[in-house]
Structure 1
Amino acid sequence: MEATQQDYISIRIRKLPYWVEHTHRGWARARGESLEQYLRELLTKAALLTQNQFAEKISKKRKEIASRLKSPLPDTTVLLREERDNF
Structure 2
Amino acid sequence: MKKIKIEIQHFLGCPNSPILIERVKEVITNLDNVSYSEVLIDTNEKAEEIKFRGSPTLLINGEDFENEPEPESPALACRYYP
TM-score by length of 1: 0.29
Q: Which has the higher contact order (CA 8 A, sep 6+)?
A: 2
Which structure dedicates a bigger proportion of its chain to strand?
2
TM-score by length of 2: 0.30
Which structure dedicates a bigger proportion of its chain to helix?
1
